Homo-oligomer: A and B are copies of this chain.
Amino acid sequence: MENKSFDPAALEMLEIVKKEGYETAWERLEKQQPQCGFGLLGVCCRNCMMGPCRINPFGDDPQRGVCGATADVIVARNVDRMIAGGASAHSDHGRRPAILLKEVAEGKNRDYQIKDVDKLKAVAQKLGIDVNAEINEIALKVAEIALNDFGKQDEEPIKFLMAYAPKKRIELWKKVEEALSTNAKIKILPRNIDREIVDIMHRTHIGVDNEALSLLAQGIRAALADGWGGSLIATEFQDILFGTPMVKEVEANLGVIDPDYVNIIVHGHEPVLSEKIVEVAESEEMQNKARQAGAKGINLIGMCCTGNEILMRQGVPIAGNVLHSELSIVTGAIDAMVVDVQCIFPALPELADCFHTVFISTSEQAKFEKGIHIQFEEDKAIETAKKIIEKAIEAYSRRDKSKIYVPKQKSKAIVGFSVEQILKALGGSVKPIVDVIVEGKIKGVAGIVGCNNPKVKQDYFHVTLTKELISRDILVIGTGCWAIAAAKAGLMTMDAVKMAGDGLKSVCQALNIPPVLHMGSCVDCSRMLVLAGAIADYLNADISDLPLVGSAPEWYTEKAVSIGTYFIASGIPVHLWPLPPVLGSEKVTKILTEDVKELLGGYFFIEGDPIKTVEKMEEIIMEKRKKLGI
């Protein structure tokens, strides 16, 4: 049991799971043992029907697929398709608020408004749009540039990347293209967010691209279109529509579930609907309905990255990260789980059926075999939100009290560290943060991103890594399920400052910030890029010169592969655990962990022990400091 989670709330729930015989990801992982070694090494190919093929990792036959593909080609193709999956998820996410902002600007949607005019103007300014025009006019232009980045059919790099990435980095990308294109043309600057994904799917088709570096370069291109395109558009447009996150105190972990209330969990990644659910749930009408049903009111709770979105913007409490999604239902006190897209285990509706919980899917892109579906239409957002909340209130009356068990654990957390909030805390410029780095009070900054993965003890890597980093005066920022782990562990409080090294401690006290900063959901990794870019531009340096490192411990999604790739392609070394499926090719492994360093400054490294990971991270940071002469 203790091997499964580092979170005591999870352990309590896992006891119930065991006693009652429920099934969660941990049990299913056990049933999947042993997992396919070919798949784990990346040497399984199913891209055509001459296969499936697999390469013998011990050097005996077969060493080639039926088409002749080597392990190098197969592994590189598989990595590319993972990036394609991840970048598609993020970019499709970004497309939604971009279309919504256009509709709002055109007056076609009246359920949403532009909440953050300052942010709109800031984005417009970056894009070179006249900010003295009428608000809707500005919004329309901003939306059109974004949608054009998804759809344009020329060879020019996407506008958002060119407007947001630091100057030196753009120069470097162009140089890398030249360096790689001595013979064949190899491009890494993305032309169009969707097209780079289609390009990957074409290249990885049987008999197209059959060279590892060429394949991986296209993976990088699609990942850059995600980080500086799709994900960034998601972040910026959500800020414009729903407000840029600012500092607030929230609560995290299963203890936020209150059995006296109608508990509604919103889970997934896109906040377009959940923002409305927050709004409608707070209405007197809905609270009254809940009271009429015998509850004290409605308790809206976030989960996973939809949770992060409304936590950051509205201060809605969060029940947990992705491995808490099943455990929350087992409390017996969740009346409705409302989901949009991504990381929604298909097992959830079946588990919900063991309780009174109504599982409600809402997205056109995400349906489930069980549960109910309430189709979300952006232009009927308030109506949809009402329908959903009413379903939850109905379910409340069907509760089986004998099944209710809610762990007490919950932690306070200070969240809301958008780039804008960080700059505000610093007095409007990155100078103070640069100064404390130069002075050595902070050695550097580590950016960490979700997920959970039942192959890793839940939250153990996240929390141990984070604690050790701050103890060594490395400021930790991050997003996604990592951020929820840190919040649950109490690392996002002023109390946690005492765990920091002396230098970082003094900075936190001076700025009145925790040593661990929540920057948002997993698409908000774009905020980390923007922050890094701002520091680089301030110093007239390249991102790869800065004492920055990244990590995706406990990763499991294709999105994480895309994020890691746009980080390394933006100049940031990235730690990964568990092992990515690349070890079946020495060449691909070498490109991603060594060769790419020369070209792009960033690279991947693999390490399964949190303390050793920190040692490596500190080593990288100290090396960068040395080069900077600080």
Q: Which residues of chain B come closer than 8 Å to A99, judged between CB atoms?
A: 153
CB < 8 Å: which of B46, B53, B152 contacts A78?
A: B46
Contacting pair A85 B558 (CB below 8 A)? no
Number of copies: 2
Contacting pair A153 B153 (CB below 8 A)? no
Q: Mark A321-354, 1 if CB is under 8 A from B, else 0.
A: 0000000000000000000011111111010000
Which chain A residues in 38-72 approach chain B with CB under 8 Å?
A: 38-40, 44, 46-54, 61-62, 64-70, 72
Q: Mark A530-573, 1 if CB is under 8 A from B, else 0.
A: 00000000000000000000000001111110000000000000
Contacting pair A62 B208 (CB below 8 A)? no
- Say yes or no: A210-B581 contact (C-beta < 8 A), given A44-B39, A89-B202, A365-B199: no
- Among A165-173, A367-375, A513-521, A595-603, the stretch that binds chain B is A367-375
* CB-CB nearest in chain B for A153: B147
CB < 8 Å: which of B64, B67, B152, B342 contacts A207?
A: B342
A185 within 8 A of B: yes
Contacting pair B151 A581 (CB below 8 A)? no
A455 within 8 A of B: yes
A32 within 8 A of B: yes
A89, A99, A202: which has the most chain B beta carbons within 10 Å?
A: A202
Contacting pair B47 A558 (CB below 8 A)? yes
Q: Separation in Å of the A430 CB from the closest CB of chain B?
A: 34
CB < 8 Å: which of B52, B201, B556 contacts A84?
A: B201
A214 within 8 A of B: yes
- Say yes or no: A207-B62 contact (C-beta < 8 A), given A99-B153, A453-B49: no
Total interface residues on A, using CB and 8 Å? 107
Q: Separation in Å of the A576 CB from the closest CB of chain B?
A: 10
Which chain A residues in 188-213 approach chain B with CB under 8 Å?
A: 192, 194-195, 197-211
A402 within 8 A of B: no
* CB-CB nearest in chain B for A200: B88
CA distance A375 to B214 in the complex (A): 13
- Say yes or no: A184-B373 contact (C-beta < 8 A), given A150-B151, A366-B208, A368-B210: yes
- Say yes or no: A201-B197 contact (C-beta < 8 A), given A46-B39, A65-B28: yes
Q: Which residues of chain B come closer than 8 Å to A91, judged between CB atoms?
A: 198
Contacting pair B202 A201 (CB below 8 A)? no
Q: Separation in Å of the A215 CB from the closest CB of chain B?
A: 8
Q: Which residues of chain B come closer than 8 Å to A50, judged between CB atoms?
A: 25, 29, 453-455, 556
Which chain A residues in 349-384 approach chain B with CB under 8 Å?
A: 350, 361, 363-369, 373, 375
CB < 8 Å: which of B66, B69, B206, B343 contacts A454?
A: B66
Closest 4 CB pairs of A and B: A68-B347, A151-B151, A39-B52, A88-B201
14 additional A-B residue pairs with CB within 8 Å, beyond A49-B581, A72-B369, A151-B194 = A28-B68, A36-B38, A36-B44, A49-B556, A49-B557, A50-B454, A88-B199, A92-B199, A150-B151, A194-B194, A205-B557, A205-B559, A207-B346, A211-B367
